[in-house]
Each structure stands twice: as C-alpha cells, then as structure tokens.
C-alpha cells in the first residue's frame, strides 16, 4: 500500500488551516466589534443608600446628561443597608463588563475597618473618579463658653469628659470627624450616636449634646440664625458657602482635613478603555456650567478626576480610617 506523499498531506491540511484562520479572524472581529459597541445596553447605577440621600441627589442630577452622552439608559438602583455594605458587595461581585456602577460616599473608606465585609474594597473594585465633596461645619451649642476652636479645646481640656459630641450613627462621617478632632486636640469628649442627621443637630441645638459635625449646607442656616455657633469647617479650604468661617487647619489643628466625598467605582478588572470612557463622560458633565451651578446650589463642591488620580487618595483614606478605628477602639453597632 502506497503511503500518502508529503504534498498530499499538506493539501489535506490546507482546508483545515484555512478554516482555523477564518475562525480566528471571525473571533477577533467579534471581540473588536464588542469592544467598539460599549455600551450597547442599559447601565445599572447602584447607590447603597436610600433614595433622597446625598449620593442619590447628586447622581439624579448627573446621570441624565451622562445617559445622553453614552446613548444608553442609566437605571438607578437604591440598595440601602449596613452603612452601604450591602450595595457595595453587589457591585464587588458583579461582572466586570462596564454595565454595573457604584456611586457612594466616604462610607466605603470607613466600612472595611468597621464591618469587615466579605469583599476587599482595594482589590474587588476599581475607583473611577471623585464626583464631589461636601464640607463639614463644626457647630457648637451657644451655651458653651467658646467662640473659637482654641477656646473650645481649652474648655474641653479643663472639663474632661463633660462635653458630648453628636453624630448620626456609629461609623458615620460625623463620628469619624469627631474622633479625629479628639485625637488631634488631645481632648476627652463623649460620643453620642443618633439615628439621623436632623436628630443629631437638633439635640445639639437643644443642649443635650454640645457639638456636632454636619454638612455645611445643612448646618449653615442654624449657624446664621444663632441656634448653633459655627466655629470651623473641616476641609483644608474654606467653604465657598461660608468664607468667613475658618478651617480647623487654620485654627490650630494643622493638616486637619475631613470632607464628605462622593465617588464612582466599578468592579475590579473592568476594561481600562471602559473606565476611561466613563471618566471622560463624567468629566464632561462635571465641567458643564449649568450642571455645576445645580450641584453647587445643592451644597456640593464639584470634583472630577481620573482613576489614576483618585485611586491613591482613596487608598490613603482607607488607611486613615483604619488607623483611627483601631486607635479609638470603635466597634460597630450590634
């Protein structure tokens, strides 16, 4: 029996090689088309807080314009619970395809040290951009004999354990700001946690507590009316809403910098080109004078930066609050 020649074997293999090559081209073309087509279906924007909260208000202002730019619907999905942990976990476990976004507050940097979630915010999610900041105002009950930060610190040191500061819950930014103030000023002030911002502020006005950190837009009317004494803001820059009120940094606590920031994240391993596109659209919307005017009236200071710029800041915030929680011995609510 005659063996097939090398030429014959090559001729038989040729159609298979052509078929394999054509398949590879088709696959590559499909992948390229899929890449070019993003987004080709609605995007789920998950907010781990209740409707009407700051994150929700911010994104209901930004998302319509983003939707127009992307030519796709952006569906807001509010998933409150556990200081945002429930919603964060949903995003961390979602497909990294660019169709699930998370917009949340500074709570995402506090939660890891307090709640020990099943996901890792540093490895299971990718920061996209800072969206906006809200300054905190330190409000003091007018009956406290202190009109400045230095006077407040002196009074607190002369009366250890007699001053109380209010917050709107364990692990809230008001709680963290209060603990950072105690740490920086080396004072003994007692923390009293309430369920919501209005209650914490009203109890301070009533004198049940003597001081409270709260969002400047909410706190300022009380300060202007004399119900609270606004002694300082917590950011490094003075608030554009209250340029007459000094910062804590200016008032004897150098480097004190706490703001209630809001940011966007996506699942880890989301393609860089998708993150870049989201970032570009966000930056475009945040530059729009009309949009900026709206969110500034809502009390936000517009942000907008790249993933590369925001990521180191976010990691530093996680480390800062981890150190604070450990040093202060803060435990989550049961």
Among 233, 251, 284, give the residue marking a domain's end.
233
Shared domain check, 113 and 140: no
In a domain, 308, yes or no: yes
CA neighbor of 110 nearest in space, from 118, 94, 121, 125: 121
Looking up tokens 């709570």, which residue turns up?
107
CA neighbor of 174 nearest in space, from 189, 187, 161: 189
258 half-sphere exposure, CB direction, 13 A CA radius: 31
Q: DSSP per residue over 206-239, as a string?
A: HTSSSEEEEEHHHHHHHHHTTSSEEEEESSSS--
d(CA 13, CA 28) in angstroms, rounded, equals 23
Question: Is 146 in contact with 189 (CB distance < 8 Å)?
Answer: no
Range of the domain at 188: 135-233
Looking up tokens 């038989």, which residue turns up?
12
Question: Is 310 in contact with 127 (CB distance < 8 Å)?
Answer: yes
d(CA 138, CA 216) in angstroms, rounded, equals 9
Shared domain check, 119 and 51: yes
d(CA 6, CA 277) in angstroms, rounded, equals 53
User: What number of helices (H) and strands (E) belong to the chain?
Assistant: 11, 10
d(CA 160, CA 183) in angstroms, rounded, equals 14
Shared domain check, 191 and 128: no
Shared domain check, 61 and 107: yes
Shared domain check, 69 and 215: no
Q: Tell me the angle at which helices 272-287 and 289-297 cross, rounded to the nearest 10 degrees.
A: 80
As beta bridge partners, residue 191 has: 165
d(CA 124, CA 304) in angstroms, rounded, equals 22
**E strands within 43-186?**
43-47, 74-78, 100-105, 125-140, 164-167
In a domain, 22, yes or no: no
In a domain, 121, yes or no: yes
In a domain, 61, yes or no: yes
Q: Which pLDDT does position 333 carry in this prediction?
A: 77
CATH of the domain at 191: 3.40.190.10
Q: Which pLDDT does position 113 carry in this prediction?
A: 94
Shared domain check, 142 and 111: no
Shared domain check, 287 and 142: no
CATH of the domain at 272: 3.40.190.150
Q: Which pLDDT does position 4 carry in this prediction?
A: 54
In a domain, 244, yes or no: no
In a domain, 279, yes or no: yes
Q: Rounded to two decimals, what is the model's pTM?
A: 0.85
Shared domain check, 167 and 124: no
Q: How many domains would you assign to the chain?
A: 2
In a domain, 33, yes or no: no
161 half-sphere exposure, CB direction, 13 A CA radius: 0
DSSP state of 247: B
In a domain, 27, yes or no: no
State the first-to-last Cα distance of the chain, in angstroms, to the nearest integer: 85
Would you write out the chain's pLDDT as a tens digit for each of its 334 residues? 555 555 555 555 555 544 555 555 555 544 544 456 899 999 999 999 989 889 999 999 999 999 999 999 999 999 998 889 999 999 999 999 999 999 999 999 999 999 889 999 999 999 999 999 999 999 999 999 999 999 999 999 999 999 999 999 999 999 999 999 999 999 999 999 999 899 999 999 999 999 999 999 999 999 999 999 999 999 999 998 999 999 999 999 999 999 999 999 999 999 999 999 999 999 999 999 999 999 998 889 999 999 999 999 999 999 999 999 999 999 987 6
Question: Is 161 in contact with 188 (CB distance < 8 Å)?
Answer: yes
Shared domain check, 229 and 143: yes
Looking up tokens 């740490």, which residue turns up?
183
Shared domain check, 127 and 151: no
Token pair of 268 as six digits: 């880890």
Shared domain check, 171 and 89: no
Looking up tokens 């097939």, which residue turns up?
4
β pairing state of 74-78 and 229-233: unpaired
Shared domain check, 169 and 313: no
Token pair of 331 as six digits: 């435990």
């Amino acid at each position: 029996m005659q063996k097939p020649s090398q030429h014959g074997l090559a001729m038989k293999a040729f159609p298979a090689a052509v078929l394999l090559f054509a398949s590879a081209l088709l696959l590559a073309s499909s992948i390229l088309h899929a890449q070019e087509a993003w987004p080709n279906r609605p995007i789920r924007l998950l907010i781990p807080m209740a409707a009407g909260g700051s994150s929700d208000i911010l994104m209901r202002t930004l998302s319509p314009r983003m939707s127009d730019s992307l030519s796709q619907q952006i569906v807001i999905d509010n998933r409150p619970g556990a200081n945002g942990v429930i919603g964060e976990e949903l995003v961390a476990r979602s497909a990294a395809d660019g169709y699930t976004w998370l917009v949340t507050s500074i709570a995402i940097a506090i939660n890891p040290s307090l709640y020990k979630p099943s996901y890792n915010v540093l490895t299971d999610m990718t920061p996209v951009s800072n969206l906006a900041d809200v300054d905190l105002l330190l409000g003091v009950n007018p009956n406290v004999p202190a009109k400045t930060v230095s006077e407040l610190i002196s009074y607190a040191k002369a009366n250890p354990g007699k001053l109380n500061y209010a917050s709107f819950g364990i692990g809230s930014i008001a709680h963290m700001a209060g603990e950072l103030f105690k740490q920086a000023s080396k004072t003994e002030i007692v923390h009293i946690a309430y369920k919501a911002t209005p209650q914490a502020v009203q109890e301070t006005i009533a004198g049940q507590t003597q001081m409270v950190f709260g969002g400047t837009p909410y706190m300022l009317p009380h300060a202007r009316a004399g119900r609270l004494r606004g002694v300082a803001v917590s950011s490094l820059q003075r608030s554009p809403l209250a340029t007459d009120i000094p910062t804590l940094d200016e008032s004897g606590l150098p480097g004190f910098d706490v703001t209630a920031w809001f940011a966007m994240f996506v699942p880890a391993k989301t393609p860089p080109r998708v993150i870049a596109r989201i970032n570009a659209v966000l930056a475009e919307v945040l530059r729009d004078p009309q949009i900026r005017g709206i969110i500034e009236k809502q009390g936000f200071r517009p942000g907008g930066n790249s993933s590369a710029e925001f990521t180191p800041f976010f990691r530093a915030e996680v480390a800062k609050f981890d150190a604070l929680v450990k040093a202060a011995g803060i435990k989550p609510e049961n």
